Every structure is written in C-alpha cells, then in structure tokens.
Amino acid sequence: MKAVAAAKYGSPDVLRLMEVAKPIPEDNEILIKIRATTVNVGDCRMRGFAVPPMFWLPGRISLGLFKPRRPIFGMELAGEVEAVGARVARFKIGDQVFASTFKAKYGAHAEYKCMPEDGAVVARPANASYEEAAALAIGAGTALHFLRKGNIRSGQRVLIIGASGSVGSFAVQLSKAFGAEVTAVCSASNLDLVSSLGADRAIDYTKEDVATSGETYDIIFDAAGKTTFSRCRHLLKSKGYYLHTGLVGSELNVLWNSLTSDKRVIGGTAVAHAEDLVFLKELMESGRLKTIIDRRYPLERLAEAHRYVDQGHKRGNVIITL
C-alpha cells in the first residue's frame, strides 16, 4: 500500500511517499480502507520535533531518540471497513467509520489502517462526508476534551483564542451547544466565519487587544497557542479555567498559581475515546456541529500540506484525500 513516512526529524522535505506492507488485522481488529485523513499541528510538531527544551529528553524517549519511532503520522481518519478479525463483533465489512489513531500508533497517512474494535472508532455521521468526518476525532475531540475539563456550563462566558483553526472552530460550536456565551478571537478575514459558527462576539486581534478589554470570562480557551496564562490571568473570573492545547507546564508560574489562586490552568494532550466520538457524531447529525475545510490535498502531496499547516494560518481543517 501507499503511505507517507518520515525517515528522520526535520522540515516537510523529510516526508516520502513509499510502498509498505498492507496491514493484516488481528483477531480483535478491523482493517479500514482510508478515504480521508488530516494534517494537523500535532503531526507537524512530531515531524519537526517542536517541543520546548525542558521536554526534549522526555519527548525523544517517547517519539524516538534519533528518528520517529512511528514514521507514518496521521492522527485521525474516516473510511470503510474492508476486513474484520475473527473475534470482532461491533463492525462488519462495509461499515463506514471515523476514528482517532492517537492510541493506535498513529498511521493514518496511508491507504489502510488497522484499529482495535474497542478503540476510538465509531460509525460515520449519516450526514457527513468522509472528509467532514475525518476531522472530528482530533479537532472536535480536542475541543470537547478541554471544554469538559473546564467544566463548561450553560450561561457561562467563554473566550476562544485562535477561534478559526481546527480546534477553535469546533470549540466555538461546542461552547454554543453547551449554552455558553462565546467571544471569538481571530484575524479579520475570519470574523465572518466564527460569527457564522455561533460566536456572540468576534474580535480581530490585529485591531483589538482582548487582554485590555476589561471583560472577564469563566473559561479562556487558547486553541492555537497564541498566548499565555500569565497574560490572560486577569481576564479570568474567580474559579475560572484557562485551557491551553500546548505544554502549559513550561510556564514557571503555573505551579505557583495552583498554590496561590483559585484560577485553574489545564493543558497537555487530549485523547478521544469512543464515547466522545459518539457524542460528536450525534451532535453533527443534529445539525449543531460542522467541519470547516480549508484545503484538500491528495496523499502524494502530503509534504505540501505540512508546509501549509506550518505557516500557522489555516482556516479550519486541512484534509488529505485518498
């Protein structure tokens, strides 16, 4: 089968299209013929090994000391079940599914992927294309994970920074689905987009500094690594949550804050589970969640997709079609 792999860490130029062995499902696995996947910031970070210095050694131990231990990236997919293992009961050949490969050694940048039937894989939303479903597991799954960690509730005021990206665009919609009042921060070219997704107020960060607005929020969600807790702390209400998709532990004042303040900081990595994907599937089928697609690339142009995501200006999701 065709796959794109990285033989070493580096720029998108390290990615190569190659022929690799087609996987064979174990007794508890399904073999998925991939129809669509994505390139997200996490893929680019792994490829370039972009981590803060203090996380260099743990990162190398986790991802591979001298080169990626799992050279085929790709954290989410949508496709069709082509084969099932002897003990599989949940799925049958022909089922259309979407999945997170985060706990299944990545590998979605290929024509086929095996997944355990009890993993983060569920039926594709009835009203979604493969391309639309492919971005749900990581983009929407990450937004859902952090908003739940922030104990989001109806009537709260939520500030979403980086609201036009993959996680941000889903976070706007999910916050509205939970009944929150949403202020979205993005560039001028994306104001109409975030408003169309339900944001009650959209702020152009090039013209207005939200940090000096005098407004306060129950939740601040930095969905694109654009700011820091120390810069936003005064915008949080008592017992508010600052959510960050990056390594907030790199901020030296986070530990001190946890000891001296009732404001909470939550960051790190989100891991989607099957029940989360079912929730997102049902929300999409109800019409309250949709996928924003910026660009599409064939698998053969995956390196080009990486270059685009590296620029940091994508609008929604970058899809790879197979």
From 126, 20, 37, 32, select the one nearest 88 (Cα to Cα). Answer: 32
Q: Give pTM, 2 decimals.
A: 0.93
- Residues 193 and 87 placed together within one structural domain of the fold: no
- Residues 28 and 111 placed together within one structural domain of the fold: yes
Q: Is the pLDDT of residue 250 over 60?
A: no
- Residues 73 and 178 placed together within one structural domain of the fold: no
Is residue 273 in some structural domain? no
Is residue 124 in some structural domain? yes
pLDDT of residue 225: 80
Is residue 111 in some structural domain? yes
Is residue 282 in some structural domain? no
pLDDT of residue 187: 93
Q: Is the pLDDT of residue 223 over 50?
A: yes
Q: Is the pLDDT of residue 43 over 70?
A: yes
Q: Is the pLDDT of residue 48 over 90?
A: no
> Chain-wide mean pLDDT for the chain?
91
Is residue 11 in some structural domain? yes
- Residues 131 and 173 placed together within one structural domain of the fold: no
pLDDT of residue 230: 80
- Residues 119 and 172 placed together within one structural domain of the fold: no
- Residues 64 and 147 placed together within one structural domain of the fold: no
Those residues with Cβ within 8 angstroms of residue 134's Cβ, 6 or more apart along the chain or in another chain = 35, 36, 37, 38, 76, 77, 78, 98, 317, 319
How many Å is the Cα radius of gyration of the chain?
Answer: 20
pLDDT of residue 50: 66
Task: Please state, in angstroms and as integers, the Cα–Cα distance from residue 153 to each residue in 29, 114, 193, 257, following that order.
Answer: 37, 37, 24, 24
- Residues 126 and 163 placed together within one structural domain of the fold: no
How far apart CA 202 and CA 210 sit, in angstroms, is 11
Is residue 281 in some structural domain? no
The residues facing 81 across adjacent strands are: 32
- Residues 260 and 298 placed together within one structural domain of the fold: no
Question: Domain containing 110 — which CATH number?
Answer: 3.90.180.10
The residues facing 194 across adjacent strands are: none
Cα angle 247, 250, 255 (rounded to 5 degrees) comes to: 105
What average pLDDT score do residues 256-283 get?
86
Q: Is the pLDDT of residue 227 over 50?
A: yes
How far apart CA 199 and CA 291 sit, in angstroms, is 16
Domain boundary among 233, 249, 266: 266
Range of 209's domain? 140-266
Question: Domain containing 213 — which CATH number?
Answer: 3.40.50.720
From 214, 122, 120, select the one nearest 159 (Cα to Cα). Answer: 214
Those residues with Cβ within 8 angstroms of residue 182's Cβ, 6 or more apart along the chain or in another chain = 158, 160, 172, 175, 176, 198, 199, 200, 201
pLDDT digits (tens, 9 = 90+) for 191-222: 999 999 999 999 999 899 888 888 999 999 99
- Residues 261 and 152 placed together within one structural domain of the fold: yes
CA dihedral 307→312→315→316, nearest 10 degrees, is 90
Cβ proximity of 36 and 79 under 8 Å: yes
Is residue 275 in some structural domain? no
Is residue 166 in some structural domain? yes
Q: Count of domains in the chain? A: 2
- Residues 34 and 52 placed together within one structural domain of the fold: yes
- Residues 163 and 261 placed together within one structural domain of the fold: yes
- Residues 12 and 72 placed together within one structural domain of the fold: yes
pLDDT digits (tens, 9 = 90+) for 62-109: 666 777 888 999 999 999 999 999 999 999 999 999 999 998 999 999
